[in-house]
């Protein structure tokens, strides 16, 4: 029997602590606006559009953090099924393999198991979104010039979590009754990155059939 979503996506299972927006800040108000739109049942293509008069970098920052929290939660729930033994390579089927590279421990693309890759990824994103020089939270402090470039890298790597979960753990998603939730999260993510051209279309190839199944991919 499938579990209800509250049981499936238990916050205690979050892979990493959730990043929260400070109440009273512009970013918090934008987050509330985005959440209200999501809950209103509006078309997801409309939900992701930049609200009139708002800063595009603030809008992107809010969504990057929110997607990190949501995907973090999805993978945290799946992590018991994603082990060194079941997933010795971070991949999306036989055709796609993802290697890890950063500026510290892994200076060259390195083959890792899926759990290792996920751990490195979540640590890396958490470090970036908590870095005031990249994601400034103080009023009047500008975003760095490379901000959208950094966000593209974050979102590209988060997309790989969807690829791995869909291709290697979809049966577990169905068994937990979480299919609709994960699908909605991916649609929201997909329409957002397409709206602002944040991920190279070639990176999206592994899940292109799913998008075509929505009716053309928007």
- Residue that is written with structure tokens 């559009």 in the block: 49
Q: Does 185 carry a binding-site annotation?
A: no
Q: Does 201 carry a binding-site annotation?
A: no
Phi and psi of 96, rounded to 5°?
-120, 125
Question: For 144-203, what is each residue's pLDDT tens digit?
Answer: 999 999 999 999 999 999 999 999 999 998 888 888 889 889 999 999 999 999 999 999
Give the confidence band of 33 by pLDDT, cuts at 50, 70, 90.
Answer: low
Q: Assess contact for 122 and 160: CB atoms under 8 A.
A: no
Contacts of 96 (CB under 8 A, 6+ apart): 163, 205, 206
Q: Does 82 carry a binding-site annotation?
A: yes
Give the confidence band of 12 by pLDDT, cuts at 50, 70, 90.
Answer: very low
Per-residue DSSP letter, 100: B
Q: Quick one: tokens of 71?
A: 């995907």
Q: Assess contact for 156 and 9: CB atoms under 8 A.
A: no
| Bigger pLDDT: 106 vs 24 | 106
Question: Is the pLDDT at 28 greater than 90, yes or no?
Answer: no
Which helix (H) or strand (E) segment is 97 a member of? strand 96-97
Its pTM stands at 0.84
Query: Cα–Cα distance between 191 and 193 in angstroms, integer?
Result: 6
Give the confidence band of 8 by pLDDT, cuts at 50, 70, 90.
Answer: very low
Give the confidence band of 44 by pLDDT, cuts at 50, 70, 90.
Answer: confident
pLDDT at 32: 64
Contacts of 198 (CB under 8 A, 6+ apart): 60, 148, 151, 152, 155, 192
Question: For 68-112, what is each residue's pLDDT tens digit?
Answer: 999 998 898 888 999 999 999 999 999 999 999 998 899 999 999
Per-residue DSSP letter, 142: P
Share of the chain above pLDDT 90, in %: 60
pLDDT at 14: 46
């Amino acid at each position: 029997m499938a579990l209800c979503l509250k049981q499936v996506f238990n916050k205690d299972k979050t892979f990493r602590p959730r990043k929260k927006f400070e109440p009273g800040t512009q970013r918090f108000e934008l987050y509330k606006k985005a959440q209200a739109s999501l809950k209103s049942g509006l078309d997801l293509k409309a939900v992701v559009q930049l609200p009139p008069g708002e800063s595009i970098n603030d809008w992107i920052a809010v969504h990057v953090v929110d997607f990190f929290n949501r995907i973090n939660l999805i993978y945290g729930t799946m992590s018991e099924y994603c082990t060194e033994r079941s997933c010795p390579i971070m991949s999306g089927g036989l055709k796609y393999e993802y290697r890890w590279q950063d500026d510290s421990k892994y200076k060259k693309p390195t083959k890792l198991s899926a759990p290792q890759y996920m751990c490195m990824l979540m640590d890396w994103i958490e470090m970036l979104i908590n870095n005031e020089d990249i994601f400034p939270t103080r009023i009047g402090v500008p975003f760095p010039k490379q901000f959208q470039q950094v966000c593209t890298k974050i979102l590209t790597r988060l997309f790989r979590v969807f690829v791995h979960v869909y291709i290697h753990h979809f049966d577990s998603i169905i068994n937990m009754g979480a299919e609709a939730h994960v699908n909605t999260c991916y649609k929201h993510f997909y329409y957002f990155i397409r709206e602002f051209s944040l991920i190279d279309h070639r990176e999206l190839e592994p899940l292109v059939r799913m998008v075509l199944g929505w009716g053309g991919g928007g």
